[in-house]
Amino acid sequence: VSVECGITTPYPMHTALQKAIIAAAKTKILVCDHSKFDKAAMEHICDLKDIDILVTDGGILDETHKKYSKYLTLIKA
């Protein structure tokens, strides 16, 4: 998850399926732990604006939470 690169994956064989799932979804909810923020992988899946809600764990830093809350609804679970 990256402001600059959006949502990415290191697994090229999953990219087409993940893009299709996002395109078909009415509401897009991404779940990832705090260690995935400010990192980018080789395959682009979508931009942050394409995700409605991002759910993460309580390990996210306040600074990171504020940064990403500008682009989508971010929930600490």
pTM for this model (two decimals): 0.89
Q: Which of the 8 DSSP states describes residue 58?
A: T
The pLDDT assigned to 24 comes to: 97
Structure tokens at 40: 């980018």
CA distance 59 to 70: 19
Q: What is the dihedral of CA 39, 42, 44, 48, to 10 degrees?
A: 0
The per-residue pLDDT for range 7-49, each reduced to its tens digit, is 999 999 999 999 999 999 999 999 999 999 999 999 999 999 9
